[in-house]
Structure 1
Amino acid sequence: MTVRLSDQPWLTAPATRAVMAALEAAGGPGCARFVGGCVRDALIGRPVADIDIATTLKPEETDRAVRAAGLKAVPTGMAHGTVTAVAERRPFEITTLRRDVSTDGRNATVAFTDDWHEDAARRDFRLNALYADAEGRVFDPIGEGVADALAGRIIFVGDPETRIREDFLRILRFFRFHAWYGRGEPDAAALAACRALAPGMVRLSAERVSSELMKMLSAPDPRAAMAAMADAGVLAQILPEARLSPLFEAAVGQGNDPVVRLMTLLPADEAMTRGAAIRLRFANATRDRLAFAAVAVPAVSLSMSDREARAVLYRHGAKAFSDAVRRRWAEAPDRAVDAGRLLELAEAWIRPPLPVGGRDLARLGIEPGPETGRLLKAFEEGWIADDFPAAGHAERLQALVSPPPG
């Protein structure tokens, strides 16, 4: 039975047609097929983001074919067979069919081939080893890839341990794909291999690990996959500070922000959180966000008044305050109304600037120096405590400089 992709605007888009026509003009009909995620997602009715193409053309031939058609060619990975074609400002990653010559658990040495089955055999999961031609006819060289995609099964191509030893990142990819595409219990053979080979992940770069973790935490509901990953000892390998708890369970129900979800896996401890983020080389913005939220958590209570909340917002900032509120909400899932009130306040409130400065003190005879800083800090603390009044600043400052007798 022939399986076809249907109702796929990207498949018939002029840019897609132009790239496929360019390749077939050089290599003949059937020399190029769509591969991997675009085929899988189209097959199961999910939106298609990136369009990847596999071809029997060698990289240099691909480059010439794209340029001959008047399209832009970018040699993004010639040594590994990849050229990126750009048509109508959309990128198409085109890779020559490959087979692995050697692997070290992190990188692979490849040789080019014209055998579609060889190319499929080096891929990670059967549902990713799918191809489709320009007319949408689906090819499943390994077999069971179409069935796996439709059933939500994440099963390695061939022997799981062999696939993992080729690239230990595939352990994390297994759980990430289970979070996004899996249904039911994870494949037992894959789980056993992940558990046995988890220590091999020490070979991976921190950037690759953190990227996979954040993609997994971005899934609509990663709870089952995370539980399986923790049970297999994989979570402890990559993030020993993490603890699966009801906090994480509740955070998943609040929204799909992966940083909030990660925050609830970690203790509200700035040093520990920052240390973990630095070790895994998270982006600076993510690292700081996690650390700032950890600092803000002790100052936040879902029972706090709006006035108290504004003081915390002023001191910690809206993002750290909101993240701390979400953590508190995860600790008390039945307090959605209180959390919602505080989150709305954080979104609407505009932090006022300190209404006085050194010049105001100079006019009162205070010379620049440590005393200026002390007086400004005292003014600020009183101004915050009084809920940021808009007037009376001169009088308050005068009182600090020349306090009344007695």
Structure 2
Amino acid sequence: MILPDAAWRTREGLPALLDALGAGAGLTRYVGGAVRDTLAGREVIDIDCATVLPPAAVADRIAAAGFRAVPTGIAHGTVTAVLPKGPVEITTLRRDVSTDGRRATVAFTDDWREDAARRDFAINALSADPASGAIFDYFGGLDDLAAGRVAFIGDPLRRIAEDHLRILRFFRFHARFGAGSPDAAGLTACAARANDLMALSRERIADELLKLLAGHDPAPTLALMVTHRILNAVLPEIDRTGVDRLARLVRREAALGIAPAALRRLGALLPPDPAIARAVAERLKLSRAAQARLADAAAPADARTDRLPQLAYRIGADAAADWALTAGEAATLAPLAGWRRPRLAIGGGDLIALGLPRGPIVAATLQAIEREWLEAGFPGEGWQSDRARAAVDQLLRESQ
């Protein structure tokens, strides 16, 4: 089989880079997702190459071709070439010397099959000659891709022992490429070794889970994971009820033409409780902004009395939309179209200029005006000035 023509193959700078890396002489190939996704008819975002050249030689050749070389993972043989339209990672062929489920010690090799054998699934072990497009398939990846099957290379239990994250990757790739039931041997091994996830950093778990949730429809795969208790050791909050909420959310997104948001979908998986949502977000080491968004969107459906623009003002447009979609209030999303957070035009200085004495009363009065402005639907500066003058006059009368 020949790799189909695709726009990414003529990306600016790529032919010159490949020429510098000896692709015409068989020294460098396309590998991984770029090959897999092109064969599957999917968009290619990242371009990865593998080479028999040692990392130092790769860096020298990249520089000689006029591109910047960045040693992004030099200990594991990876050098990134910075091209005009995006980076390309080039990794020297490797074999595993030792693994402990979290990290691997590697040695370099010139054996293409040995390098392919250390990859997780057969569909990820495909490589292609840049010049001829010839596909190299050592483990049946082409057949698996055609059949919609995600299968480990070799013994699934051994491959999971090498890197526990492969449990989550099995389900993510099944959600994206799988057709029908998952590979039985892989599923059995993942279920048997699910507790191994406890040894992983929560950041790695979060990254893989959010990638899964960003897919087209992750709900059936999450249902499979709940059935087989895959996440129980690290995310016991996710249960069948959460999967049902996720499925409803996915349907609403599709019906309204709203792009998937992984964080919103994670929120749907969790119980509608801000404390639980924040605790999970903290456990997964999400950013503070993500923690706040997840918690703010987690209120039960009957806990919000604000109209949607007012809610967006309080918690942000993203969290307000997340809550509306998850809580079943999707029909009210129209008020958020093109929404920008309005700004109260008056400040404490304006109140003082009107005669209000300095002190805590200034902040309290401003907060009261803001609440009224919020409830009134964000009226303009004329309303704000009139309300500020009336508030100050009333307070001055009361103080006499």
Same topology, TM > 0.5: yes
Q: What amino acid sits opposite 1:108 in the alignment?
A: A
Question: Is the aligned partner of 1:248 residue 2:246?
Answer: yes
Question: Is the aligned partner of 1:275 residue 2:296?
Answer: no
Give the alignment partner of residue 160 of structure 1, picking from 150, 156, 159: 156
SS in 2 for 1:234: coil
Residue ranges of structure 2 left out of the alignment (5+ in a row): none
- The equivalent residue for 1:332 is none
CA distance in 2, matches of 1:12, 1:316: 45
CA distance in 2, matches of 1:295, 1:274: 12
Answer whether contact 2:4 2:133 (CA < 8 A) is retained: yes
Question: Is the aligned partner of 1:346 residue 2:350?
Answer: no
Q: What amino acid sits opposite 2:247 in the alignment?
A: E
- The equivalent residue for 1:334 is none
1:79: how far off?
A: 1.8
Answer whether contact 2:79 2:91 (CA < 8 A) is retained: yes
Q: Deviations over 1:283-330 (max 9, x none)?
A: 2221121122235855436xx7xxx4444344333233222111222x
Answer whether contact 1:5 1:43 (CA < 8 A) is retained: yes
Aligned residues: 386
- The equivalent residue for 1:399 is 394
Task: Report the CA distance shift for 1:349/1:223 in structure 2 as closer, same or farther (over 3 A).
Answer: closer
Answer whether contact 2:300 2:327 (CA < 8 A) is retained: no
TM-score (norm 2): 0.88
Superposition CA RMSD, Å = 2.5
Task: Report the CA distance shift for 1:370/1:183 in structure 2 as closer, same or farther (over 3 A).
Answer: same
1:166: how far off?
A: 0.2
Question: Is the aligned partner of 1:376 residue 2:371?
Answer: no
Answer whether contact 1:18 1:87 (CA < 8 A) is retained: no
- The equivalent residue for 1:130 is 126
Q: What amino acid sits opposite 2:323 in the alignment?
A: A
Q: What amino acid sits opposite 2:22 in the alignment?
A: E
- The equivalent residue for 1:92 is 88
Task: Report the CA distance shift for 1:356/1:81 in structure 2 as closer, same or farther (over 3 A).
Answer: closer
Q: What amino acid sits opposite 2:40 in the alignment?
A: I
- The equivalent residue for 1:284 is 288
Question: Is the aligned partner of 1:300 residue 2:304?
Answer: yes
Overall identity of the aligned pairs, in % = 47
Answer whether contact 1:379 1:397 (CA < 8 A) is retained: no
Give the alignment partner of residue 182 of structure 2, picking from 182, 186, 202: 186
Structure 1, 363-372 or 228-237: larger mean CA deviation: 363-372
SS in 1 for 2:232: helix
Q: What amino acid sits opposite 2:19 in the alignment?
A: A
CA distance in 1, matches of 2:392, 2:342: 17
CA distance in 1, matches of 2:106, 2:375: 66
Q: What amino acid sits opposite 1:251 in the alignment?
A: L
- The equivalent residue for 1:318 is 317
Task: Report the CA distance shift for 1:171/1:400 in structure 2 as closer, same or farther (over 3 A).
Answer: same
Answer whether contact 1:375 1:400 (CA < 8 A) is retained: no
CA distance in 2, matches of 1:374, 1:92: 56
Structural mapping, 1:17-166, within 5 Å: 17-24=15-22, 29-134=25-130, 135-142=132-139, 144-166=140-162
Task: Report the CA distance shift for 1:386/1:4 in structure 2 as closer, same or farther (over 3 A).
Answer: closer
TM-score (norm 1): 0.87
- The equivalent residue for 1:263 is 267
Residue ranges of structure 1 left out of the alignment (5+ in a row): 330-337
Q: Deviations over 1:156-192 (max 9, x none)?
A: 0000000000000000110111111111111111111
Q: Deviations over 1:238-263 (max 9, x none)?
A: 32222343211011121411111111
Q: What amino acid sits opposite 2:137 in the alignment?
A: D
Answer whether contact 1:53 1:94 (CA < 8 A) is retained: yes
1:389: how far off?
A: 4.3
CA distance in 2, matches of 1:125, 1:373: 60
Answer whether contact 1:300 1:321 (CA < 8 A) is retained: no
- The equivalent residue for 1:211 is 207
1:356: how far off?
A: 4.5
SS in 2 for 1:168: coil
CA distance in 1, matches of 2:213, 2:339: 29
Q: Deviations over 1:187-229 (max 9, x none)?
A: 1111111111111111111111110011000001111211111
Q: What amino acid sits opposite 2:73 in the alignment?
A: G
Answer whether contact 1:124 1:156 (CA < 8 A) is retained: yes
